[in-house]
Structure 1
């Protein structure tokens, strides 16, 4: 609970910075492609570094891995504050800072997931993961509204300063709390083996267990679709709503995520299979994405945001619990890191193509004189943002389709029985 408190404060600070920075970059450049490059810089390095980070996470004290990660993020934030105050900030500075924070996140996220199994017994993993999701949900609820307000009064430099304070608080918590040491037998046995060979331990483990590999690949496919949505959501909403309304819409998502996190903890000890809950809420997320694109309405988009984020804690927690229960603690760092690398490997491609898809293909199709204006445009409307709306409908439908196909694969469907 103490560690989750520190992470909650850190998530709030990061949420403020991420929302404000995304809005600031889009307003400065007015391009979905430019925004997609920023999100790419925030994710691709983590995918690359994760498999190698797993070796160190299994060998080192996981608390210190998290401490060093927070220190790296804090130093990067200080550099951004200095550049903003001196008015020397350039777009490439922001890209570089995003890359640095993404690298330390590649250590911090799997280290925290692996440490959870030593902090709580298996019977409480669902509740522990629900607390983690609840922390993220509070950040999702509070950060957009607060950032939209603060951006006008204390500007980007002030928001980064608050983010820095949140890092310091989380760091103080980690320095205070002691983590139980995990067994490192497997790591010691492989100490003399090459770094590449030890890095591939996580891959070999997943490859030997068809259900776990299928889970990672399915998540990668879904993330590809959601990644395109992630880049496009701000331009779509800002085509018919204000920054304040955008923050309100995302905060509805935060409410849904809080309710979902509470339900994960409540249902954690039920007899329902986690993999079934995982599939149920994957269907719900695909439906929510499709609904968001139908009509430019704040109310409709808020409802879709609520439904999507209601399912997010179930999707993330169920996947995490399955891995935590199936993988031996001494190799969890490598397996979790490689799982993250596979699951999120599709995001960079999604971020790269999202901008051109929106700017060059779908938006022109749905202009008032566009190719689809007289057909599909009669149902979902034409003009600014309607092309992205059509993208959302197609992406949501595809997400439902790959969920239905994946459910037919028996090793994945029966993953908890083996």
Structure 2
């Protein structure tokens, strides 16, 4: 078997990895800055909420564009625009003019660019690697979000060494690296140029909704999307609150270490998925690791302990690449390649939609409801408080317990639903990559 397609995929992946690492470091530093300046979980969560809403809004357009135009060009333009937004941030920091509200529009622009980039990347992925290695490639792709989680440890050292301006400058340089790799690496025509068969003459609305029509045509795939949405709703609530939870009993340096440990767990999950490729029946991987994730998440609520979080966070994050990689491989292999960009956009939209709901609910639920209820003398202090404790962060801990139970319930649904149990039996529509198809590679977009 030729490995040309795999090596080209790995090169593009490496460029995106460098870029995402820089962005993750900058995002961590800015997030801590906003939280420490305002003391508000809601304002902290607003950054992630706006990123999610921006991604949802632009996802249908990204899918249509990726199924219409040169996908390499989409990667290049996305990185250029995101680099421009980072340049504005650098100018604000260098001039001493950065304010909290500046963070939000910059986050929106970079989130939109990330959506175009990831839709193009995940659409190209199954067209670059042989189908038998699709699960492994999706496992490797899951290291991209892992880098964002692990970035805080590097952020602490970089912040001390070069300051906020230096961190943002490094982020800007990572875009240059990603752009250089994207332009130089030769890519096969099949992966770069969309198959427009069946799309010519379609209205813009028909193209925007083509991914959802494709999913309705394949029984069970819409259920997979709903499952992903529920998973990201629960995980999003936990994700936006884990840093405020840790900061209630530890400082930023401990937070950075714990975030790194969590990211290491996600890296380990990606490594396992890359080596293993997931189970032959991909829904088995999804439902099994949903249950494991739910248990690990619920146990976060037991005590305000750095050691507890240091064990459970990597255990929870270990499951994410296997859940997401298995689900993405399932979608990529069961839909028409001509609609793949729009289906991938739909998957991102569903995931970000669940995440946005989680982000929107998490801060107000923590600040206005659960934290007061688990304060000393609060409504739940004499009941649930006797189990998980009372005081700062214990209301957030209760949210972790609820989200964990939600993931376990999703695993039960995935096990008992006939549509989800049989979705692996749908015929594959992804044409296996051939040596001839992989041999046709161009060094730059034409």
Q: Under TM normalisation by the shorter chain, which class is it?
A: over 0.9
- Separation (CA, whole Å) in 2 of partners of 1:198 and 1:139: 32
- Match for 1:20 among 6, 29, 43? 29
Mark the CA change 1:341 to 1:229 in structure 2 (over 3 Å): closer, same or farther.
same
Secondary structure of 2:188 counterpart: coil
Task: Work out whether residues 370 and 398 of structure 2, in 8 Å CA contact, stay in contact via their aligned partners in 1.
Answer: yes
Residue 352 (structure 1) aligned to one of 360, 366, 369? 360
Aligned equivalent of 1:259:
268
The offset of 1:136, in angstroms, is 4.0
Inter-partner Cα distance in structure 2 for 1:412 and 1:139? 31
CA drift at 1:241: 1.0
**Is the counterpart of residue 331 in structure 1 residue 339 in structure 2?**
yes
Compute the displacement of 1:298 (Å): 0.6
What's the counterpart of residue 4 of structure 1? 13
Q: Which residue of 1 aligns with 2:98?
A: 89
> Residue 292 in 1 paired to residue 300 in 2?
yes
Give structure 1 stretches of 5+ with no counterpart. Answer: none
Note the C-alpha offset of 1:181.
2.0
Deviation at 1:159, TM superposition (A): 1.2
Among 216, 224, 246, the alignment partner of 2:225 is: 216
Q: Distance in 2 between matches of 1:186 and 1:258?
A: 34
Identify the residue that residue 35 of structure 1 maps to in structure 2.
44
Give the whole-Å Cα distance in 2 for the aligned partners of 1:139 and 1:371.
37
**1:50 pairs with 2:52:** no
- For residues 68-87 of structure 1, the aligned pairs below 5 Å read 68-87=77-96
Shift of 1:185: 7.7
> Displacement, 1:156?
2.3
Partners of 1:200 and 1:135 in 2: CA distance: 28
8 Å Cα contact 2:156-2:256 kept in structure 1? yes
CA distance in 2, matches of 1:342, 1:150: 35
1:205 and 2:203 correspond? no
Which 10-residue stretch deviates more, 88-97 or 33-42?
88-97
Extract unaligned runs of 5+ from structure 2: 1-9, 427-446
**1:101 matched to which residue of 2?**
110
Contact 2:195 2:338 in 1 (8 A): yes
**Is it true that 1:398 corresponds to 2:406 in the alignment?**
yes
Residue pair 1:293, 1:390 contacting (<8 A) in 2 also:
yes
Residue 252 of structure 2 corresponds to: 243
2:197/2:338 contact within 8 Å kept: no
**8 A Cα contact 2:149 2:259, kept in partner:** yes
Task: Verify the 8 A CA contact 2:64 2:207 in the aligned structure 1.
Answer: yes
Q: Distance in 1 between matches of 2:187 and 2:222?
A: 29
Match of 1:150 among 140, 146, 158: 158
The 8 Å contact of residues 50 and 341 in structure 1, kept in 2 or not, is answered as yes
1:233 aligned partner: 242
Distance in 1 (CA, whole Å) between partners of 2:399 and 2:149 is 24
**Residue 138 of structure 1, CA deviation:** 4.6
Give runs of ≥4 in structure 1 deviating > 4 Å.
183-186
8 Å Cα contact 1:145/1:248 also seen in 2? yes
Post-superposition Cα deviations, 1:341-391, rounded to whole Å, max 9, x if no partner, equal: 123212222222211100010001111121111222222111111111111
Shift of residue 210 of structure 1? 2.7
2:288 aligns with: 280
* C-alpha distance in 2 between matches for 1:91 and 1:210: 46
CA distance in 1, matches of 2:225, 2:271: 25
In structure 2, which of residues 124, 130, 143 is the aligned counterpart of residue 121 of structure 1?
130
> Structure 2 CA distance, aligned partners of 1:179 and 1:389?
47
Deviations 1:108-165 (A, max 9, x none): 1110001112211111212222222235435533x11111222334332221111111
1:344 is paired with a residue of what secondary structure?
A: helix
SS in 2 for 1:34: helix
Residue by residue over 1:27-60, the C-alpha shift from the partner in whole angstroms, topping out at 9 and shown as x without a partner, is 1111011011111111111111111211110121
Q: Deviations over 1:208-264 (max 9, x none)?
A: 223111011111112111111122111110001111111111111122112211211
